[in-house]
Every structure is written in C-alpha cells, then in structure tokens.
Amino acid sequence: MGKISKLPDWVSNRIAAGEVVERPASVLKELVENSIDAGANYIEVSLRNGGKQLVQVTDDGEGMEYEDVILAVERHATSKIKDVEDLNSITTLGFRGEALPSIASVSVTEIVSRTSHNDMGFLIVVDNGKIIQQMEVGSAVGTTVSVSELFGKIPARKRFLKSDRAELSKCSLWLTQLSLAHPEISFKMENDEREIIYTPATGTYLERIEQIFGAEIVQDLLEIEHRSGNYFLYGYISNRTLHRSRGTDQYFFLNGRSIRSALISGALKRAYSGIIPPGRHPVVFLFLEAPPELVDVNVHPAKTEVRFRREETVFGTIYKTVANILGTSMTPAKKTKTASNMVPPMHSYAVQSKLNFPEPYRKSPGKKFRPSSPERDIQMLAEQILDEHSERQKNIDIQTEETQFLQVLNSYIVIATVEGVLILDQHAAHERVLYEKTVRALETEQSPGQRLLFPVEINLPPHWLSPLTAMLEKFSAVGFEIEIIANDKIKILSVPAFVRNRDYSELITDIMRDISEGESVPEFEKIFASSVACHSAIKAGQPLSADEMEALFDALFSCDEPLQCPHGRPTIIKFTGRQLEQMFGRT
C-alpha cells in the first residue's frame, strides 16, 4: 500500500491557516482588506482581549449575496480573479480566496452581509471549518465578520499568542498602516469597549499622517513626487533634522498595499547617507504606483512582501528622487585622509552643560583610580584594539600614579596605566550606570523626578497607547510623570534628573519603540530599564571634560556589572604592555 494519501479538507485548511493566520492582527488585516476591496467608506474594528477573544470588522461596503456568503468560506473561492492571466493584473488587496476559509477553520466565525438591493441580510456561522448555522437576518447594507475563540481548538497554536497588550499593539499597527494607505476611508478601532483609533476620512495623505502622528512631525516632512516611466512615486520624507534610532517609522505602500521591502530600505539608506548621523533612520511615508504586471504580489502568504520585475529601476527611482529632494549629490565627495585628520587634538573639550551622573557608591574599600599620564596618541590603535581584543577580564586591577584622561574621537576615553592601556566606551559605560540606577528605582519605586516648568505634549501612534498605559507606574518609579490626555497624545510633567536638557519628545518615542512589543512583566521591565538607559546616556561623538570623564569612570566601577552594557557590549577594554609589544612585533 502506498505511503502518500490526500489530506482531508479540514487538515489542509488548518495548514493553510498556519500560513495566513498567525495572530489576531493577521485576522484584522485580512478582514479590513476585504472591507476596503468592497468599497467601504467606514470601517469599524472591535476587539476583546487584544483580539484573542474577538476580532470583529464592520463595514458599509457593497455587501454579499447569499450565494457569495456561502462560497466565501470555501477555499480558493474568490471574486477577484477568474483565470491565470488575472494574476498579472491584480489591483485588489485580496485575491486568493484563502483568508476567510483559513480564518474560519481555526475559530468560530460569524458573517452577516447584505447588499443594497436586498431587504434582508444573510447570516452564516462556521465553527472551526464546519458550517453550523445559516439564516436570513435584518442588517444594514455592508458586512460584519466576527471571529472569536481564535485557535480555541488548537492549544499548541494558542500558546504562541502573546499578551493582550502585545497583540493589541500588533492590531493597532496594522490598522495604522491600512489607514495611512486609504485616507479616503474612516477607520475606528475599540478594544474592550475603549476607543483606540479614530481617523475620520480626509482628503490627503498628509492630513492622515497628521491625524495619526501629530502636527509636530508634519512640520519636518518634505513632499516628494516623481514619475519615471511606468512608476509613480509620491509621499513624504523627513528632513535632515528628523530621524529615529530605529526604522520603525518607515511606511511603504505599493498600489495601496502596505509592504516590507529591503530594496526600498536600501535605496533610502543610500540617499540619506551623510545627511543624518550614522545608525539613525529617517521617517518616511512612501507610496509607489506601478503597473500590476511589473509586480509580483503572490510571493508571500500574507502578501506583505513583493517582487519587482525591474528592481534596478525601482531602486534608482527612489534613490534619485529622495537624494534630489534632500539636496544631496549623486556622488558624495569622499573625505581625504591626511596626517592632520588622523591625529586627534590632545586637549579636553568643554561642554555647555554638565552631565548628570548618579552619586557613586562602593560596596567595599579599594584603591582610588589614579592613571598615569599618556605619553602618545593611540588613535591609530583604536580600530585594531576593538578588533583584536575579544576576551574581557573579570577583574581589572588598576595601579596608577596620577589622574589623566584622553578622549579619542569624542567617543572613547583612553587611560594609560603602569600595566598598559584602558579604553572605555563612553556611551556603553554611561548606559550601564543609568541601567543599574533605573533598575534600583524600579525596585524601590523611590526616584522623584524634576518638575518641568513648561510641560511637553507629544503625539504618539495609537498602537503605543496600550503599552504606555501598562508602564505608567514604571515611568513614575524612574522619575517620569506622564499624563495621557488623548488616544494619541501625552503630556510630560516631570523627568528624572539624569535626562535633563534632552529632547524629551525624542526620548519618550525612542523608549516606546523599544517597549511596545515587550511580553512578560519581567522582560517588560528589563526592556524598559535598558531603553531608558540607552536613550538617556551620553552619545558617541559628545565631547567631555576631564572632570566628566573621571566622574563617569568612578560611577562605572561602582556598578554591580561594570564590564558590559545592558546589551552585552564591553564598556572597557584592557591592553597590557605585553599585548602592545606583540602588536608592534617587539616579542
């Protein structure tokens, strides 16, 4: 007897569901896309427990006939395509006919729909792939799909769902992306009967961006518009002053579809090279229109990735358009290496405002750090030092005569000792100091903040509201006093002493990006403490005075774990005299 057998429909449906339905946000995305394809002007989403208990999408679109409602839960039944040639001219968001049957095979799905020329609507209920009820009902024109008990009969899949807050954040993010692509549609989302998102229909993409992200960000956006052959690119990009620590505020749309694209990201990175600081990312809202036959949207189960048939044309169009708007040259001049710029100045730099280091504390008496004076510049060794030294010592014994510090590249603090050379990464070191201070504050809940004379209001994306609400007490324990004044706006009333004279808006948004996907409370607190420390610490490239360098060193060696930052990178590296002799070939 042969080993291969045809799978039953209920098994194949659940396999298909594994590709399309990963979490409540996947359900929301597919249902809202169906509503958009149906010509809806108003789409309302209702969630319970972040969508784990219920995802309900109601629209005022064209609705479905009785026969269509029945076929809608059958696999590969679709109104979008008729034959294979139609795959080359897809203009709708959905087309495979897999979403609804896949969702219905792993949940209890209820569909109510009515067209304008019918007096009554039609109801169908599907319990994990089996139709258990169908009947006529009174309803408004349009469609309502309610998905409850997602993965209720598949415990293994249900265990992979995250916290209510994390799932809500994912749902909010998807609805944000869909609403950005369709400003002509009104969107509303509630969770547990609390409004999370409401974006009334508007006339322009810029107005929709302002609805979601606030007027402040709009002021720093540049409009772009360019047509190149079959491609039309338009949207908004940030100017030289607006950039983020992560690329999460980059939204790409192709023919009205939200997509991810390494190609587009690469073009943006090249266009902004030399315009914004290294490691920073622009804020971007890019809309690209292209003939359907030049794009393959059928390469990913969730249709979030696409393949361009002429990648070099797309890359060039985006790069040149963005670069021209930013005023950059197509071939930026390279910096010439000369003897003068290879040797850094030997004096310390003054800063306008002193850094705020916590008071050091020592757990046991020890020798005061007294390094000897460095006799030569060691910048030429900097890169070699970082590359060659991979083993950090557990304890660094320091025997010195007199305190002297040298700052190299405004990023590293170099100290010559009687045994060799120490190199301290100023950002990583300060990050470790602030991380342990933040952890202690979270444990004791006793770190009063400093009241701001003028409170700062910040607009936040709707999908950050839930994690922010969950972390208000943690913010307060560290010294932040934050008031939620709207679904997309907060007010900062006080801040910790160690973040004075910072850009509070950028600081809070950077922290929120880090913590918005935290899971369990312990992990959430760890991410929070690490994020507060990272974004509050002094940066690479910031000049420090000799007193500030010494204060940083003393504060670092008062920490429980002084040799690495919260992310695991070394804070300080030691080179013995013997190691230096080996580098120079003396041994």
How much is the pTM? Answer: 0.65
pLDDT exceeds 90 at position 486: no
Residues in a beta bridge with 490 = 458, 484
Reference 54, options 121, 10, 107, 104; nearest CA is 107
Backbone conformation region of residue 187, classed left if phi is above 0, alpha if psi is from -120 to 50, else beta: beta
Q: Give the span between the Cα atoms of 142 and 126, in whole angstroms.
A: 19
Reference 505, options 206, 216, 210; nearest CA is 216
pLDDT exceeds 70 at position 454: yes
Q: Give the span between the Cα atoms of 552 and 368, in whole angstroms.
A: 14
pLDDT at residue number 9: 61
pLDDT exceeds 60 at position 473: yes
pLDDT at residue number 246: 81
Query: In sequence order, what are the residues at sequence separation of 6 or more whose Cβ sits closer than 8 angstroms to the Cβ of residue 369?
Result: 398, 400, 403, 553, 554, 557
Q: Give the span between the Cα atoms of 267 and 322, in whole angstroms.
A: 9
Q: Which of the pair, 157 or 149, is modelled with greater confidence?
A: 149
Highest-confidence range of 340-344, 400-404, 503-507, 553-557, by mean pLDDT? 553-557
- Contact by Cβ (8 Å): 419, 576: yes
- Kindly report, residue by residue over 221-235, the tens digit of the pLDDT: 999 999 988 899 999
pLDDT at residue number 248: 86
- Kindly report, residue by residue over 81-115, the tens digit of the pLDDT: 445 454 455 555 644 447 888 899 899 999 999 99
Backbone conformation region of residue 571, classed left if phi is above 0, alpha if psi is from -120 to 50, else beta: alpha
In the structure, what pLDDT confidence band is assigned to residue 370 with cuts at 50, 70 and 90? very low
pLDDT exceeds 90 at position 352: no
Q: What order of strands is seen across the sheet that includes strand 489-495?
A: 450-459, 489-495, 481-486
pLDDT at residue number 524: 62
Q: What DSSP state is assigned to residue 90?
A: -
Structure tokens at 315: 């890359």
Instruction: Give the chain's domains with CATH numbers.
Output: 9-199 (3.30.565.10), 213-326 (3.30.230.10), 342-587 (3.30.1540.20)
pLDDT at residue number 186: 96
Percent of all residues in the chain with a pLDDT value above 90, rounded to a whole number: 36
Which amino acid is present at 544? L
- Contact by Cβ (8 Å): 255, 91: yes
- Kindly report, residue by residue over 518-566, the tens digit of the pLDDT: 544 455 677 778 888 888 888 888 999 988 998 899 899 889 888 888 8
pLDDT exceeds 50 at position 335: no
pLDDT at residue number 264: 93
pLDDT exceeds 80 at position 195: yes
Q: Give the span between the Cα atoms of 480 and 81, in whole angstroms.
A: 54
Polymer length of the chain: 587
Distances in Å between the Cα of 547 and the Cα atoms of 140, 215, 350, 403, 443 are: 72, 41, 10, 10, 30
Rg value, the chain, Cα: 29
**Residue 172, Cβ density class (10 Å: 0-12 exposed, 13-18 middle, ≥19 buried):** buried
Structure tokens at 223: 């409009």
* Weakest mean pLDDT among 333-347, 443-457, 539-553, 565-579: 333-347
Please give the mean pLDDT across all residues of the chain: 78
Q: Give the span between the Cα atoms of 331 and 320, in whole angstroms.
A: 11
3-state secondary structure of 288: strand
Residues 499-520 have a mean pLDDT of 71
pLDDT at residue number 412: 94
The secondary structure of 1-40, three-state, reads CCCCCCCCHHHHHHHHHHHHCCCHHHHHHHHHHHHHHCCC
Instruction: List Cβ<8 Å contacts ≥24 apart for 356-364.
Output: 356/497, 356/498, 356/499, 356/500, 357/430, 357/433, 357/498, 357/548, 357/551, 357/552, 357/555, 358/433, 358/434, 358/437, 358/498, 358/555, 360/554, 360/555, 360/557, 360/558, 361/558, 362/558
- Kindly report, residue by residue over 43-58, the tens digit of the pLDDT: 999 999 999 999 999 9
Start-to-end CA distance of the chain, whole Å, equals: 74
- Contact by Cβ (8 Å): 169, 516: yes
Place of tokens 């690469």: 266
Q: Which of the pair, 252 or 299, is modelled with greater confidence?
A: 252
pLDDT exceeds 80 at position 353: no
pLDDT at residue number 90: 54
Q: Which of the pair, 539 or 347, is modelled with greater confidence?
A: 539
